[in-house]
Chain A
Amino acid sequence: MKLDAKIPSGPVAQKWEKHKFNLKLVNPANKRKFEVIVVGTGLAGASAAATLAELGYVVKTFCFQDSPRRAHSIAAQGGINAAKNYQNDGDSVHRLFYDTIKGGDFRAREANVYRLAQVSVNIIDQCVAQGVPFAREYGGLLDNRSFGGAQVSRTFYARGQTGQQLLLGAYQALSRQIGLGTVTMFPRTEMLDLVLVDGHAKGIVVRDLVTGKISSHAADAVVLATGGYGNVFYLSTNAVGCNVTAAYRAYKKGAAFANPCYTQIHPTCIPVSGDHQSKLTLMSESLRNDGRVWVSKKKGDKRRSQEIPEAERDYFLERKYPSFGNLAPRDISSRAAKEACDDGRGVGPGGLGVYLDFADSIKRLSQEKIQERYGNLFEMYERITGENAYQQPMRIYPAVHYTMGGLWVDYNLMSTIPGLFVLGEANFSDHGANRLGASALMQGLADGYFILPYTIGDYFASNKPAKPSTSHPEFKSAEESVTGLTKRLLSTRGKRTVRSFHRELGQIMWDKCGMARSEASLKEALSRIPQLREEFYKNVNVTGEAGSLNQALEHAGRVADFLEFGELLCLDALTRNESCGGHFRVEHQTEDGEARRDDEKCSHVSAWEYQGSGRQPVLHKEPLSYEEVKMSQRSYK
């Protein structure tokens, strides 16, 4: 396998313009001869499917939910970044580019990130034209807020429901195309394998989640926009259905998986309340604009928050990072909270929490103002915890939230399998080792609206229409392997539920490969995961039938993939012998506990190539070079 990122030559600011001109076009009359499969209907998938259909391609779209509108992009709260500089506070494309590269701890591609910053401005225009009700000022113009890792206000938002509104915009564009008959939508349909014909991605095998029927769909290209793999940790802020299956099966068919160890732990989530917990709930990072994070200076302090006088409180983010304070980036804030808890100063049950306190802001701005800004978040907090955060501080703790790693793609968003394109969180391309807040929505929509529609045309123009028949032997053998796994899972009839395996895997991942990782902990995980996987196939109990709606079976298939993927994640974490962004190796830290990169040895993308069951995957390295920005120790002090 040879990794060729296909980065255009020339100055970074001109690469995309130049590349767009050099990309081959498909003439309008020929577009309808090409069929595209899009898997996933979040921001990336829905925007891509709608745009490709508008251009004239024949599109088939798949999602496992009952409607494309339910994809987990819907849950993004805080906002979307764009270098509009409407605030006149010194923002620019170059500054958004720089902040993103630095925020990613110098582990992302310069050319991709610069393009992302460039198209960010078009995204806002597009969304407004679709009727996305962004927050506005009294003069009628768009409002902005600031977000972690930036010193300008460039985040556009729609109350605490920005992801919902952006997704509904893309969903409505997609629905329009479905109504026009240019897109065929398959809801409640899960992709279970990718099919290659003559080395090119030419289709997928799916299971109808209502009838259990396994079937094949062929096309000229396949687009995966299937999200991240945070649920390998069992507890995360992802929806319970989020999974790695589509991406992992593509990996097993030859797509390189890049940087799986880059996982983002979000600092402001509601702490775990017990074993029954099925997911963790995020409180938007925007709360850190007005909330102050603190714990007691004393260890094991059992006093209630109100009883701890000001002088005995440690506002640790403000203390450690005076210039960014409570708005330090996510990885740094999460680790600082963990340190405070490890030090015995955590709050709430089990000492796994820190305070996020709004008392000062309420005094400064009034409760009404805070309610206007964050009312729905305060209500959500009260529903889950039973506590009123206007009267006492919120308790928060870090949780797995986003995965920067994903399938390796080149500048055209094509994976190492020709004809397989990967968008949004499912690819690895733009966030390096840590993603800044409000950048996930930006990337998903950039990929779907403004990048893929250009680059996929070049692939089609270079390859004649060649949609195979689904009776091709490759489809039949993929269907057989999918059916075989289903039968195996249903016939095991062991003693443990799928959920108990998932929970145990998650515990291993969180303890051994979570916020802090060491050689010893990773080696332990790498010995325990295969044992757990072995037990899974011997002792899992999946009830119900193959030929009907069977949620236990769906979950079993996803957990089977997580049990393999978790090992790849830990292997990548062990191999990356440095700390960077969300990947913190305890062996590599500065004297004051910050991540220490090793630019000499580790300034590369790690792309893993599958070698078959039971064999160690092969590591390929794509070197990262920085021409526009100077690599530096990331400092938010």
Chain B
Amino acid sequence: MKLTLKVWRQKDQESPGHFETYQANDVSPDMSFLEMLDVVNEGIIDRGEDAIAFDSDCREGICGTCSVVINGMPHGGHRATTACQLHMRHFTDGQTIYIEPWRAKPFPVLKDLVVDRAAFERIVQAGGFVSVRTGGTPDANAIPIPKEDADRAMDAAACIGCGACVAACKNASAMLFVAAKASHLNTLPQGKVEKDRRVLGMVAAMDKEGFGNCTVTGSCEAVCPKEISLDFIRQLNGEYLIASLKGK
């Protein structure tokens, strides 16, 4: 099939960006979206021009690197699918596709479709861990964990840190990302010990980075490629309230 692409091109963080039009011919329905961009880039390089920069690595939906907005939807808006796993069979011949980077103030554009997500790193560094050292830990079966709790922790831990939740949110809120990490750890006995410190630390870091507030519109959950549930935001809000009241 043949497609018309309107791609966001931006030289670097300081320069203004604009949409550039490219024709993608001979697109196979079995290509992934990023493979389609690879082929377009081959043509651009053949013409001696600078290729479209976009982030990707594992290309199997787990590393969280890829980060493009396709026709206004982060990752293209197909249920539980990252852009690298989105296949061209979902598009139709002759279609025009708009391709943009994540748009959020805390995620500055570095070039074209590549953004800087270091703000997420600083949030994790502010409490997204269990403070244990290597070695000297008890036997893995010493503390039984109800299967339901382990499963719930795993549901939250499935977050790949891609940032689609922020890109989808009208407030550029990072609540789903923060809630997923906090809930993963707070649900397990190993993480409960420093629960209060964790939620206060991570929420403070999130605010400091300039992410917006959550008004529970649910757009984050709708685009999340790992289907992280809004219920974790409810859990975080509750835990944050308790921790604040304790005044720790």
Q: With A136-B147, A140-B147 given, is the CB distance from A72 to B57 under 8 Å? A: yes
Select from chain A the residue with minimum beta-carbon distance to B125: A179
Contact (Cβ within 8 A) A129 B132: yes
* Alpha-carbon separation in the docked complex, A135 to B138 (Å): 18
Interface contact A130-B141, CB-CB below 8 Å: no
Structural contact, A210 and B110, CB atoms closer than 8 A: yes
> Mask for B166-184, Cβ within 8 A of A = 1, else 0?
0000000000000000001
Q: Is the CB of B134 within 8 A of A549?
A: no
Which of A258-266, A379-387, A469-477 is the contact stretch?
A: A379-387
Residues of B within 8 A of A135 (CB): 150, 154
Tell me whether A497 and B45 are in contact in the complex, defined as CB-CB below 8 angstroms, given that A67-B121, A172-B128 are known contacts. yes
Instruction: Determine the distance from Cα of A158 to Cα of B184 in the docked complex, in whole angstroms.
Output: 13
Which of B45, B49, B150 touches A136 (beta carbons < 8 Å)?
B150
Q: Are A450 and B157 in contact (CB under 8 A)?
A: no
- A168 interface residue per 8 A CB criterion: yes
The answer to the question of B211 belonging to the interface, with a C-beta cut-off of 8 Å to chain A, is no
User: Are B157 and A168 in contact (CB-based, < 8 A)?
Assistant: yes
- The yes or no answer to A207 lying at the interface (CB within 8 A) is no
B16 to chain A, nearest CB (A): 16
Find A161's partner among B12, B35, B153, B158 (CB 8 Å cutoff).
B158
Query: What are the residues of chain B within 8 A of A550 when measuring CB–CB?
Result: 50, 53
Of B60, B86, B147, which is within 8 A of A281 by CB?
A: B60
Q: A142-B141, A541-B46, A544-B51 are in contact. Are A178 and B125 (CB under 8 A)?
A: yes
Binds A, one of B91-99, B112-120, B214-222, B234-242: B112-120
Q: Are B50's CB and A75's CB within 8 A?
A: no
Asked whether A383 lies within 8 Å of B138 as measured between CB atoms, the reply is no
- Chain B contacts with A in 22-62, Cβ cutoff 8 A: 28, 30-32, 34-36, 38-39, 41-42, 44-46, 48-51, 53, 55-62
Q: Which residue of the partner chain, among B65, B114, B140, contacts A549 with CB atoms under 8 Å?
A: B114
CA distance A519 to B39 in the complex (A): 36
Q: Which residues of B have CB within 8 Å of A139?
A: 144
**A66-B55, A67-B120, A131-B185 known; A384+B125 contact, CB < 8 A:** no
Complex Cα spacing A124 to B140, Å: 6
- Distance in Å: Cβ of A369 to nearest Cβ of chain B: 15
Q: In the assembled complex, which residues on chain A have CB atoms less than 8 Å from the CB atom of B154?
A: 133, 135, 158-159, 165
Let me know if B150 and A543 touch, CB within 8 A. no
Report Cα–Cα, A12/B144, bound state, in Å. 34
Q: Is A70's beta carbon under 8 Å from chain B?
A: yes
- How many Å lie between the Cα of A125 and that of B111 in the bound state? 43
> Across the interface, do A450 and B134 meet the contact criterion of CB distance under 8 Å?
yes
In the assembled complex, the CB of A403 is this many whole angstroms from the nearest CB of chain B, namely 17
Stretch from A272-280, A418-426, A431-439, A562-570 forming part of the interface with B: A272-280
| A330 at the binding interface (Cβ < 8 Å) | no
Contact of A240 with B by CB under 8 A: yes
Contacts of A159 in B (CB 8 A): 154, 158
Give the residue among A74, A86, A125, A128 with the most B Cβ atoms within 10 A. Answer: A128
When chains A and B are docked, how far (Å) is the Cα of A139 from the Cα of B120?
A: 36
A6–B204 alpha-carbon span in the complex (Å): 50
- Of A74, A84, A126, A178, the contact of B134 (CB 8 Å cutoff): A126
Given A75-B60, A165-B157, do A552 and B125 touch, yes or no (CB 8 Å)?
no
Residues in A whose Cβ lies below 8 Å from that of B147: 136-138, 140
Cα distance, A609 to B168, chains bound together (Å): 53
Question: Are B57 and A70 in contact, CB atoms less than 8 angstroms apart?
Answer: yes
Report which of B57, B128, B134, B190 forms a contact with A175, defined as CB distance below 8 A. Answer: B128
Q: Determine whether B247 belongs to the interface, using a CB cutoff of 8 Å to chain A.
A: no
A126 touches B150 (CB 8 A): no
A446-486 contacts to B, CB under 8 A, are: 449-450, 453
Question: How far, in angstroms, from A383 to B46 measured CA to CA in the complex?
Answer: 31
Q: Which residues of B contact A84 (CB under 8 A)?
A: 140
- The answer to whether B48 touches A543 (Cβ under 8 A) is yes
Name A304-349 residues within 8 Å CB distance of B: none
Q: A133-B154, A175-B125, A549-B53 are in contact. Are A279 and B144 (CB under 8 A)?
A: no
Return chain B residues, CB-CB under 8 Å to A131. Answer: 130, 153, 184-185, 188, 190-191
Inter-chain contact A239/B137, CB cutoff 8 Å: no
Q: Is the CB of B60 within 8 A of A175?
A: no
With A450-B134, A493-B48 as given contacts, are A279 and B157 in contact (CB-CB < 8 Å)?
no
Q: How far is the CB of A394 from chain B (nearest CB, A)?
A: 15
Contact call A70/B64, Cβ cutoff below 8 A: yes
Interface residues of A in 162-186 (CB under 8 A from B): 164-165, 168, 171-173, 175-176, 178-179, 185
Quick check: A274 and B48 within 8 Å, CB to CB? no
Contact B50 A172 (CB under 8 A): no
B124 within 8 Å of A by Cβ? yes
Report yes or no: A133 in contact with B157, Cβ–Cβ below 8 A. Answer: yes
How far is B232's CA from A487's CA once the two chains are assembled, in angstroms?
50
| Residues in A whose Cβ lies below 8 Å from that of B160 | 164
The answer on a CB contact under 8 Å between A75 and B62 is: yes
**CB–CB B138/A129 < 8 A:** yes
Q: Do residues B63 and A543 form an inter-chain contact, with CB atoms below 8 A?
A: no
Q: Is the CB of B184 within 8 A of A499?
A: no
Residue in B42, B65, B110, B134 whose CB lies within 8 Å of A449 = B134
Q: Report the separation of the CA atoms of residues A75 and B59 in the bound assembly, to the nearest whole angstrom.
A: 10
Q: Does B19 contact A (CB under 8 A)?
A: no
Distance in Å: Cβ of B195 to nearest Cβ of chain A? 11
> Taking the nearest CB of chain A, how far is it from the CB of B132, in angstroms?
5
Is B1 engaged at the interface, CB distance under 8 Å to the other chain?
no
Q: Smallest Cβ distance from A488 to chain B, in angstroms? A: 17
| Among B38, B50, B58, B85, residue most surrounded by chain A Cβ atoms (within 10 Å) | B58
A410 at the interface (CB under 8 A from B): no
Query: Which residue of B is nearest A140, CB measured?
Result: B144
Contacts of B185 in A (CB 8 A): 131
Does A617 reach chain B (CB closer than 8 Å)?
A: no
A interface footprint on B6-23 (CB within 8 Å = 1, 0 otherwise): 000001100000000000
CB–CB A133/B31 < 8 A:
no
Q: Nearest CB to that of A173 among chain B residues?
A: B129
B132 touches A175 (CB 8 A): no
Contact of A379 with B184 at beta-carbon distance under 8 Å, contacts A75-B62, A273-B30, A449-B134 already known: no
Residues of A within 8 A of B129 (CB): 130, 172-173, 175-176
Residues of B with C-beta under 8 A to A172: 124, 128-130
Q: How far is the CA of A278 from the CA of B146 in the complex (A)?
A: 42
Q: Which residues of A contact B121 (CB under 8 A)?
A: 67, 175, 178, 185, 187
B65 proximity list for chain A (CB < 8 A): 65-66, 70
Q: Are A240 and B134 in contact (CB under 8 A)?
A: no
Q: Other CB < 8 Å A-B pairs besides A164-B160, A187-B118, 15 of them?
A: A54-B133, A67-B64, A70-B58, A75-B58, A130-B129, A159-B154, A172-B124, A175-B121, A210-B111, A282-B60, A450-B134, A543-B48, A548-B12, A551-B51, A552-B51
Q: List 18 A-B contacts (CB under 8 A).
A: A47-B134, A50-B134, A67-B120, A67-B161, A125-B140, A126-B132, A126-B135, A134-B140, A135-B154, A165-B154, A172-B129, A173-B132, A173-B134, A187-B121, A241-B57, A384-B85, A544-B50, A549-B111
Query: Which A positions have Cβ atoms within 8 angstroms of B?
Result: 47, 50-51, 54, 65-67, 69-72, 74-75, 84, 86, 122, 124-131, 133-142, 158-159, 161, 164-165, 168, 171-173, 175-176, 178-179, 185, 187, 210, 237, 239-241, 273-274, 276-279, 281-282, 379-380, 383-384, 386, 449-450, 453, 493, 497, 499-500, 541-545, 548-552
Smallest CB-CB A-B distances: 7 pairs: A140-B144, A179-B125, A172-B129, A129-B137, A273-B30, A133-B154, A133-B153
